[in-house]
A = this chain, B = another copy of it.
């Protein structure tokens, strides 16, 4: 609706009403103008209607939506299913070009604008959440593992001799595999146990650099967000080492954007030492479906090189999701989610402590992990029982807890990990972890504690231990459904 069209509307409905609408429309257009002009993440969220309008407008800027366009190339963003068309708002060209995932496409001005704006808003996100000096970033439609691979493949160009990646142990497969996929040999640095916590052994890293020779090392690959009892790596000290020895430094910040502590570590590291790139997932931090990661850094040229290392075009779908979500939440909405999470973290910790103590266990003292927490599982019975607890929770619709018995051995790509899952060769006790991640609700926590309490009771009772826990166990089912449905209430009354 341009001014001319509003004038025409005045012949159909009263000019006073049209003026009112035009005025309101201007307010929406102002938002759009400011976004295009400043490319900043708006403070206030946008209404869904305005977001969809913007997406529709962008789609009309792509050649596949030009009236009278005739396509005689091999790639014309023709989409045959209307369902598919609609779920992508008629955007079909993806993002990027042969040479560069952040390049603009001649046939797809709209998709290109969307990509640029998303990257620009994401940069704001990183600044606001704790890394004010971040210089460049881009959203890549791959999850964190593959994004780490891309970073390493980029670093290789400037460190052609390197064969090793130094890796403070974190028992998460995709991170470790990313090193192998990139073609490097991982050098595992075991963590130090300090109290209940597992911390980075910085001295061992330095020793290893000296041992292998700095020029043979591509980078140190550190981790911020991780499962308790591990805590974020000591980024500052590692960054200093990397600077001292001119070794690359890449940070796996998978779900760290939601935590000021993790972001602060990155900020500090970049100030005192070397940090080439940090990578974070979009799904875990921005509450979108799995599929995207943000690659960010402090040197524009390096980040541009990473984006140019990605050969060819890519899916725009994760960008669309992030575009919608950032506009919908606005900075205020996101900050509110962060504040809620912080509050719920404390709440979960408190409830978990009480529940643990009630059953003769304790909350491990891991004050430096801002997201994940753990309680001890000092069972005297055989190991199998520990995993039994996990499956009892699983069948009761508790998702996301991890029960770790600290005795499992696993081989990944030829490397043997003792105590796999616990980030250490011999952590003293079995334990159960839970996380208060962004988006968690009070209801989640209450249900979790309630079910954990019940399950712990059953699991600790010797007579129950002997029989297999089944889903058909009526009393529990009642409890489960009782939380959520009418049916359950019905069953409840019966029982």
Given contacts A52-B83, A84-B288, contact A178 B75 (CB under 8 A): no
Neighbour of A78 across the interface among B28, B73, B287, B372, CB < 8 A:
B287
When chains A and B are docked, how far (Å) is the Cα of A20 from the Cα of B60?
11
Contact A43 B328 (CB under 8 A): no
A165 interfacial contact with B, CB 8 Å: no
CB distance from A373 to the nearest CB of B (A): 10
- Cα A440 to Cα B227 in complex, Å, equals 44
Contact between B112 and A12, CB atoms less than 8 A apart = yes
Residues of B within 8 A of A60 (CB): 1, 21, 24-25, 28, 49-50, 53
Scan residues 89-133 of chain A and give those whose CB is less than 8 A from a CB of chain B: 90-95, 97-99, 104-107, 109-110, 112-113, 116-117
B residues less than 8 Å from A85 (CB atoms): 48
Q: Smallest distance from the beta carbon of A239 to chain B beta carbons, Å?
A: 24
Chain B residue with minimal CB distance to A160?
B183
Q: Smallest Cβ distance from A389 to chain B, in angstroms?
A: 14
A455 within 8 A of B: no
Expressed in whole angstroms, the Cα–Cα distance for A159 and B232 within the complex equals: 36
Of the 9-residue stretches A141-149, A189-197, A376-384, which lies at the interface with chain B?
Answer: A141-149
Contact A153 B314 (CB under 8 A): no
Shortest Cβ gap from A210 to chain B (Å): 26
Complex contacts, A436 vs chain B, CB 8 Å: 72
Which of B61, B76, B82, B480 is close to A25, meaning CB atoms less than 8 Å apart? B61
Chain B residues near A216 (CB-CB < 8 A): none
The stretch that binds B, out of A201-209, A289-297, A457-465, is: A289-297
Name which of A267-275, A355-363, A391-399, A423-431 contacts chain B.
Answer: A391-399
Interface presence of A44 (CB below 8 A): yes
Kindly state the separation between the CA atoms of A337 and B288 in the bound complex, as whole angstroms.
29
Provide the residues of chain B in CB contact with A318, threshold 8 Å: 315, 317
CA distance A81 to B443 in the complex (A): 19
How many angstroms from the CA of A312 to the CA of B255 in the assembled complex?
14
Are the C-beta atoms of A80 and B439 separated by less than 8 Å?
Answer: yes
Contact A440 B174 (CB under 8 A): no
Once the chains bind, are B486 and A98 in contact (CB under 8 Å)? no
Q: Please, which residues of chain B bring their CB within 8 A of the CB of A67?
A: 24, 27-28, 31, 47, 481, 484-485
Determine whether the beta carbon of A63 is less than 8 Å from that of B399.
yes
Residue total for A at the interface (Cβ-Cβ under 8 A): 176
CA distance A112 to B18 in the complex (A): 10
The answer to whether the Cβ of A400 comes within 8 Å of any Cβ in the partner chain is yes
B148 touches A311 (CB 8 A): yes
Interface residues of A in 25-67 (CB under 8 A from B): 25, 27-34, 36-37, 39, 42-44, 47-53, 56-57, 59-63, 65-67
Instruction: Assess the A484–B68 pair: CB atoms within 8 A.
Output: yes
Is A57 in contact with B1, judged by CB distance below 8 angstroms?
Answer: yes
Residues of chain B contacted by A437 (CB below 8 angstroms): 73-76
In the assembled complex, how far is the CB of residue A34 from the closest CB belonging to chain B, in whole angstroms?
6
Q: How far is the CA of A377 from the CA of B329 in the complex (A)?
A: 41
A311 to B172 CA separation, bound complex (whole angstroms): 11
Residues in chain B near residue A180, CB distance under 8 A = 309, 311
Which parts of A313-367 form the interface with B (CB within 8 Å)?
Answer: 313-318, 320-321, 324-325, 328-329, 337, 348
* A167 interface hit (Cβ, 8 Å): no
For chain A residues 461-495, which have a beta carbon within 8 Å of chain B?
A: 471, 480-481, 483-487, 489-490
Interface centre among A19, A146, A402 (most CB of B within 10 A): A146
User: Which residues of the partner chain B approach A320 to less than 8 Å between Cβ atoms?
Assistant: 87
**CB–CB B314/A146 < 8 A:** yes
A386 is an interface residue with CB less than 8 A from chain B: no
Query: Which chain B positions have C-beta within 8 A of A223?
Result: none
Residues of B within 8 A of A8 (CB): 33, 36-37
A57 touches B53 (CB 8 A): yes
CB distance from A316 to the nearest CB of B (A): 7
Asked whether A69 is an interface residue with its Cβ less than 8 Å from the other chain, the reply is: yes
- What are 6 of the A-B contact pairs (CB < 8 Å)? A14-B106, A75-B255, A84-B325, A145-B311, A146-B312, A315-B315
A20-B66, A78-B287, A291-B314 are known contacts; what are 10 more A-B pairs with Cβ within 8 Å?
A27-B68, A34-B487, A70-B398, A71-B400, A72-B435, A74-B227, A98-B172, A98-B177, A141-B315, A291-B313
